Amino acid sequence: MSQRMRGSQPLIVMSEDAQQVKDRDAQEYNIAAARAVAEAVRSTLGPKGMDKMLVDSMGSVTVTNDGVTILTEMDIDNPTAEMIVEVAETQEDEAGDGTTTAVAVTGELLKNAQDLLEQDIHPTAIIKGYHLASERARQEVDDIAEEIDTSDEEILRRIAETSMTGKGSEFNKGLFSELVVDAIGHVTVETDEGDDIVDLEFLKIETQTGQSTEQSELLAGAVIDKDPVHDDMPRIVEDAKIMLINESIEVEEADVDTEVSVSDPEQLQKFLDQEEDQLRRKVEQIKDTGANVVFCQKGIDDLAQHFLAREGILAVRRTKKSDVEFLKEVLGARIVSDLDDASADDLGSGSITRDISDDMFYVEGENGHGVTLLLRGSTDHVVDELERSINDALDVVAQTVSDGRALPGGGAVETEVARRLRDYADSVSGREQLAVESFADSLELVPRVLAENGGLDSIDTLVDLRAAHEDGQVRAGLNVHTGDIEDTFESGVIEPAHAKEQAIASATEAANLVLKIDDIIAAGDLSTGGDDDMDDMGGMGGMGGMGGMGGMM
Ligand code: ADP
Ligand code: MG
């Protein structure tokens, strides 16, 4: 490598270890890396997608079907591959679902770009064509999208179910879609303009292992997985006046480090009495506000625990900050940060109950709002995957409620948009036209992979789908369970429009970012860039392994 630089660019001074890869080599290298990532998640797409088991360097195991989880846990150590992981992360942040689609389409856009590069089409033409196609595709998605009645719970449940298919929640999707839609309903508020907005701050997910997933439930208020600090405290407080406090109920440390040296027993006793008085006063202050329950974010001194128990006050220490903040919403309370200023106004009213089998407090507020989705499952793996899939479903339903647009799933949109893009391509001049066509082909990856993962013939499926769309059936998609081409909106495979638009936008941006690079200058040796732990990706790090990549796709 260094030879190449010596001749033409004598001014660049790089270390002996440095490597430079230019032009087509750089593009090929990057495309291979990006495609390897896309390949890694493709088999999880759709309801018949398989799960991945990820084992990290500490040996801890995650079993998931969730695109973004797979990619973030994979510990990828290749700069280009990391850019693709960012696509998944952006998609997750912006839309909450559709991560696998976004990454798989990115990979396909790059694969098709490689074919164009091989036909000597300049990367800038491809980039421009992809950009045009992406804009147009999003317009078409909007055109295909159905305006839905966001109070129609039936449709919202279908949207939740579509996002959950293939995930841990699928077997009880009836129950979970109902829980999700119910939960969102509880935290939806109408603005003065009459728009619905969903405030997910008022919704908390709690997980509990040991029971079956069907025991999951939606609860009004909060669930606090904590024990009282003292055995003599009440477990159930029906008429609760609850104080939330984020300072410790302990002896105040002197500001400066003072050393107390005690010479005689009397002095020691005096000192201890002083401490006791201080704690007694704090408990007195709590009692004076009328509080009979305290959730403290910090510690509670043993002696204070004893005083509180004697007053019949239920106290919990080291409550998680997020729990305290959620309790504030649930109770409509204020968080006390200094007991000297605490008053009855700070308290929240409600009730505290406790389920013996769960060992958790249920806190219900009188004036606040907020609901908890308590997810249960036999083991941590089950609950974790359930939580991921419920999170996706919540995001998707929340978004649909705010956005009001939905799409037919099962590859219907992708096939229709591809068809329309091919028409549109005719109006695009120059080589960009070929890029627009490649973009259309790339979108059709979605129905192809859905079929493939469902054990169906992907070519036959695509042919049938295209024919249906040529015939004007805009909502014709694949039902992976029967293999039939049908109106998927009608049959209840429904997706939110926003997530699809976002997936198209982020896939295009990522593909174009990769295509724009024509020069890789690495401080170290590129061939050791791959992660040793990952055989799949190992070959990608080295330029020598490039030939092998083609076989994988
Ligand atoms: P992503 O991470 O992109 O959301 P998923 O694994 O959740 O990936 O798969 C989403 C895809 O599966 C969408 O294209 C959706 O339309 C499709 N899909 C969901 N349910 C069905 C179904 N019953 N039949 C066909 N396709 C489905
Ligand atoms: Mg999904």
Place of tokens 């120059």: 430
Question: Which entry of 66, 301, 395, 403 is annotated as an active-site residue?
Answer: 66
3-state secondary structure of 308: helix
- Residue 323 has phi, psi (to 5 degrees) of -70, -40
Ligand 1 atom closest to Cα of 68?
2
Does the domain at residues 153-220+372-403 carry the CATH identifier 3.30.260.10? yes
In terms of Cβ atoms closer than 10 Å to its own Cβ (0-12, 13-18, 19+), residue 194 is: exposed
Catalytic residue, candidates 44, 62, 99, 289 = 99
Report the topology of domain 222-369: GroEL (3.50.7)
| pLDDT at res. 549 | 33
| Cα 278 to Cα 23: distance, rounded to the nearest angstrom | 74
How far is residue 447's CA from residue 511's CA, in Å, rounded to a whole number? Answer: 20
Q: Which of 442, 510, 534, 536 is nearest to 30 (CA)?
A: 510
Residue 474 DSSP one-character state: T
CB 50 within 8 A of CB 44: yes
| Residue ranges of the chain whose pLDDT lies below 50 | 1-7, 528-553
List residues bridging with 203 in a β-sheet: 371
State the closest ligand 1 atom to the C-alpha of 414, by its place in the atom list counted from 1: 14
For 541, the enclosing helix (H) or strand (E) is: helix 535-541
Instruction: Return the closest-CA partner of residue 241 out of 312, 341, 329, 347.
Output: 347
* Torsion of Cα atoms, 118 then 124 then 127 then 133, to 10°: -100
User: Which ligand has the nearest atom to the CA of 65?
Assistant: 1
Query: 492 near 161, Cβ under 8 Å?
Result: yes
The CA distances from residue 322 to 282, 433, 533, in Å, are: 24, 52, 36
Q: Of 52, 416, 446, 450, which is best to mutate to test ligand 1, by the most ligand atoms within 8 angstroms of its C-beta?
A: 450
Q: Establish whether 97 is a catalytic residue.
A: no
Q: Please report, as a single letter, which amino acid is at residue 417.
A: V
Residue nearest to atom 4 of ligand 1 (CA): 98
What's 38's DSSP letter? H
Residues at CB less than 6 angstroms from ligand 1: 44-47, 49, 67, 97-101, 162, 165-166, 409-410, 446, 450, 478-481, 493, 495
Per-residue tokens: 334: 């204020």
DSSP characters over 69-132: HHHHHT----HHHHHHHHHHHHHHHHHSS-HHHHHHHHHHHHHHHHHHHHTT--HHHHHHHHHH
Nearest CA to ligand 1 atom 14: 410
For the domain 21-147+408-550, what is the CATH superfamily, name and number? GroEL-like equatorial domain (1.10.560.10)
Q: Output the 3-class SS for 320-331.
A: CHHHHHHHHHHH
Determine the Cα–Cα distance for residues 306 and 317; give it in Å rounded to an integer.
Answer: 13
β 222-224/335-336 pair status: unpaired
Tokens encoding 363: 């806190």
Distance in angstroms between the alpha carbons of the first and the last residue of the chain:
29
Q: Which ligand 1 atom minimizes the distance to the CA of 166?
A: 6
Taking residue 430's Cβ as centre, other Cβ atoms within 10 Å add up to 11
Rounded alpha-carbon distances, angstroms, from residue 55 to 76, 156, 533: 13, 35, 10
Catalytically annotated residue among 62, 80, 100, 162: 100
Nearest to 363 by CA among 308, 438, 267, 292: 292
Our measurement of the distance from residue 175's CA atom to the centroid of its chain's CA atoms, rounded to an integer in Å, reads 21
- Give the other-Cβ count within 10 Å of 234's Cβ: 16
Residue where the block lists tokens 């042919």: 463
Closest ligand to residue 49's CA: 1
- Give me the half-sphere count of Cα atoms (radius 13 Å) on the Cβ side of residue 24: 9
pLDDT tens per residue across span 220-251: 899 999 999 999 999 999 999 999 999 999 98
User: For residue 50, what are its two tokens?
Assistant: 């398989």
- Measured in Å, residue 164 CA sits from the centre of ligand 2 at 7
Residue range(s) in the chain whose domain bears CATH number 1.10.560.10 = 21-147+408-550
Please classify residue 545 by burial: count the beta carbons closer than 10 Å to its beta carbon, then call 0-12 exposed, 13-18 middle and 19+ buried.
Answer: middle
- The answer to whether 187 and 371 have CB atoms below 8 angstroms apart is yes
Any idea which residue has 């700070």 for tokens?
346
Residues of the chain with CATH 3.30.260.10: 153-220+372-403
99 an active-site residue?
Answer: yes
Q: Which ligand is nearest to the CA of 44?
A: 1
DSSP tally for the chain: helices H, then strands E: 19, 21
Place of tokens 């976002």: 502
Beta strands 196-198 and 188-190 are: antiparallel
Closest alpha carbon to 491 in 185, 47, 101: 47
pLDDT at 68: 76
Query: For position 537, what pLDDT does the model report?
Result: 39
Determine the pLDDT at residue 449: 95
Cα-to-centroid distance, 165 and ligand 1 (Å): 7
Q: What is the pTM of this model?
A: 0.80
The per-residue pLDDT for 381 is 86
Note the Cα 518 to chain centre separation in Å.
33
pLDDT value of position 260? 63
Ligand approaching nearest to the C-alpha of 91: 1
The predicted structure's pLDDT at residue 13? 59
Distance CA 540, CA 553 (A): 13
State which of 69, 158, 165 you would mutate to test the pocket of ligand 1, scoring each by most atoms of that ligand within 8 A of its C-beta. Answer: 165
Cα 370 to Cα 222: distance, rounded to the nearest angstrom? 7
CA of 458 to the centre of ligand 2 (A): 20
Kindly give the distance from the C-alpha atom of residue 486 to the centroid of ligand 1, in angstroms, as a whole number. 15
* DSSP single-letter state for residue 8: H
Among candidate residues 97, 384, 392, 464, the one labeled active-site is 392
CA 41 – ligand 2 centroid, Å: 12
Nearest-CA residue for atom 19 of ligand 1: 162
Residue whose C-alpha is closest to residue 140's, from 412, 468, 512: 412
Cβ neighbors of 433 (< 8 A, separation 6 or more) are: 129, 425, 426
CA angle 361, 367, 368 (to 5 degrees): 65
531 and 133 Cβ atoms separated by less than 8 Å: no
Nearest atom of ligand 1 to the alpha carbon of 102: 3
